[in-house]
Amino acid sequence: MPIPPAALLRRLESTRLDYGSGRAAEKLRLLARLDRARLRTAQQVLRLHEHLAFMRAYPDDRAVLARVERMLRRFVRRGDLRRYRGALADSGIAGTAIRYAFFWPTARWLATRWPARLSIDWTNFDAPERLASALPLLVTPVEAIWLRLGDTTPRRALDRLRGKRTPDGTFYVRRVAAMPGDDFTRESYFDALDVPLVLQPGDDTPSRTHARHASSPVVFRTRPPERARPDLARELARPPRAVRRVPPREARELIDLGRAAMATRARDLDAFAYGSARDVRVVDDGDGLAWAIIGVVPERRPVLRSVYGIVTLRNGVPIGYLDIHVLFGCADLAYNTFASFRGAEAAHVLARLLAALRHLFAATSFTLAPYQLGRDNEEAIDSGAWWFYYKLGFRPRAAAIRAIARAELARMTANPRHRSSPRTLARLAEDYLYFETAGARAPHWPSLDTLGERVAARLAARAGADRESAVRECVRAAMRLLEAGRVRGAGERTTWSRWAPIVAALPGITRWSAFDRRALARVIAAKAGPSEDEYLARFDAHPRLDGALRRLTGS
C-alpha cells in the first residue's frame, strides 16, 4: 500500500540527526516522494519546510543539498502551501504574509525596499483611535483641519490621503519619515503608536525559505552535530579559524540577512536595524560554522558599552542570533537558537562563540541577564534555559538563588527524574548568571543604571530645564580638562556631548595625571570611530577609567 504523506514526513523527521553510510540515499528517496506529495494540514507543510531548512544547514552530501535547495526554490508553488497560505501567515515561508508591529527602523527598511507590499494590519489593530489623533501631524494644515473636524475613520482617511499607488502602510511610514526633528524623535513617535503592519509576499521579500549567505562555504556532514556538553575553559583557549572584515556590499547583505531573520520571526533587534556596513566581520570556526558580527552606527551606540548583533550561520543558513554588550572585558549575552535548529548542537555553538568573543574583544568573563534566563520570558522557562547555562559552568552570585539551586540539585540527586517547576525556574531567573575565567571578575551590570541618575542630578544643578546649555558647558569643561584636540565630524561631536556629563561626575578625575586625562580624550574620540574595536582596546588599556566608573556606578 502507498505510504501516506504524513507518514513519509515522520520518517524524514526521524532521520534528522542520522548521518553516515546509506543515510543520504534514504533521505533522497523520502525527499523525492515528499516533493510530489500533497500534505493535508498547514502544520505538516510547516514541518516539511522547517526540516528542509535544517537539512540545508546540515547537508549530508552534494546530492542531498541540491534536492533540498530545489525543493525550497519551488516551495512557493506547492499546492498544499497555496491551500493553507492564510493559516501559514507569520511562518516565514516564501509566499506567505508577515504580520507584526515592526519598530521604526525595520518599518522604514520595509517601506523603502518593498513599498508596494507594506500595509496596515487593520484586523489586528486594537486601538486605531491612537492613529486618528496622530494623523493631523503628518499632513498639510488644511488636510489636518479636515481630519480633526470631518467624520471619518483612520482607515478611510488614509485611503483618501494615500492615493491609488501607495499602500497605507508605506504612506504612513513615509509621512513619519518626513516629520521635522531627528530620527530619535521620529522613532519615538512611531513606536508609541504601535501600528501593526503586514508585509505581503513577493518574489524577494524576507523569508526563511531563501535565507542564506551566498558567500559561505558548504561543509557536508558524515556524522551528527556535536551534542556533548563542552568544557568551556578548554574551548576558550582555542581561537576560531579565521576572522575577516567584509566589504560594504557583503556587509549590507549580512545586515539584511539579520534583519530578515528577525522580521520572519516577528522580532526586532536594534543591532541589526542600525547595523553599520563599515563594521561587519565574519568569524569562521571551521566545519561550516560561522558568525556575522555586526557593529552599530555611531549615533546609535550606547554611551559606555559596545553593542553587536550576531547571526549564527551553518553553511550560510541563519540558525540563531545574539545581542551582546561588551565593556570591562566582559560580554553580556542574549543567545538564541531558532526553534527549527534546536536539539542539534546549541551548547557546542555557544562554547565556540565564547571563544570567538574572547579572541575578538579580549573578553575574560561572560554574563546572562535575567530575561535571557526566564524572567518575563516564557520561552526560556519552557526550555529550562537556566539549567542549560548552569550545566555549562555559569553560576549565580545572589545567595538566595544559590540556595535554590543547591536544593534543586539535591532533589535531582535523590530523584534523577526531578525537573524544576516553572515557578522555581522563575525564581532562579531573578538575577544574572556569570562565567569568569581565572582571575577575572565580571561587573555587576545593573549598577550601571545608577549612572543616569547621578548625571541627571549634576545637569539639574547646572541648568535645570535647559539641558542643552548644561551639556555645552560640560563639553567645554571636559575638553579643557582632558586637553582634547579638535572635534572631527558630527559623530565625534555627539559622542563628546554624551560623555562630557560622565567626565564631570568621575570621582577624582581632576587629580589624574595629564597622560591619563589625554588618554581618556582618546577613548571618547574612539567611541565615534568606524568600529568600536579601538574604543574597547583604549578603554581596557586606560589605567584609571575602569576603576573610576565602577566607583561612580557602585559596581
CB 86 within 8 Å of CB 123: no
Helix (H) or strand (E) holding 271: helix 270-273
Residues in CB range of 551: below 8 A, 6 or more apart: 507
Q: In the 8-state DSSP scheme, what is residue 231? A: -
The pLDDT, as a whole number, for residue 389 is 96
Q: Mapped to the 3 state alphabet, what secondary structure does 393-462 carry?
A: CCEECCHHHHHHHHHHHHHHHHCCCCCCCHHHHHHHCCCCEEEECCCCCCCCHHHHHHHHHHHHHHHHHH
**Mean pLDDT in each 10-residue stretch from start to end of the chain (555 residues)?**
90 95 94 96 98 97 97 97 96 97 96 97 91 92 92 92 94 96 93 96 96 94 92 95 96 97 95 96 97 96 95 98 94 94 93 97 95 94 95 96 97 94 96 94 74 84 84 92 86 92 92 96 94 94 91 79
The pLDDT, as a whole number, for residue 488 is 81
307 phi and psi, to 5 degrees? -120, 140
Q: SS3 for 259?
A: helix
318 phi and psi, to 5 degrees? -65, 115
b/e burial code for range 479-510 (CB count within 10 A of at least 16 → b):
bebbebeebeeebbebbbbbbbbbbbbbeebe
CB 52 within 8 Å of CB 310: no
The pLDDT, as a whole number, for residue 407 is 96
Task: Find how far residue 473's CA is from the centre of its chain.
Answer: 37
The pLDDT, as a whole number, for residue 479 is 94
242 phi and psi, to 5 degrees? -160, 155
Spatial separation of the C-alpha atoms in residues 259 and 114, rounded to whole Å: 14
340 phi and psi, to 5 degrees? -70, -15
Q: List Cα–Cα distances, 157 to 164, 190, 461, 506, in angstroms.
A: 13, 18, 47, 53
Q: SS3 for 31?
A: helix
Spatial separation of the C-alpha atoms in residues 553 and 526, rounded to whole Å: 22
The pLDDT, as a whole number, for residue 555 is 66
What DSSP letter does each residue of 70-126 carry, written as one string?
HHHHTGGG-HHHHHTTTTTTTS--TTS-EEE---HHHHHHHHHH-TTTEEE-GGG-S
In the chain, the amino acid numbered 310 is: I
Q: In the 8-state DSSP scheme, what is residue 208? A: S
Q: Which grid cell sits at 309? A: 548583533
- Sheet containing strand 289-296, edge to edge, reads 242-245, 275-286, 289-296, 306-314, 317-327, 330-337, 365-368, 433-436, 395-396
The pLDDT, as a whole number, for residue 448 is 67
Residues in CB range of 65: below 8 A, 6 or more apart: 55, 56, 59, 218, 220
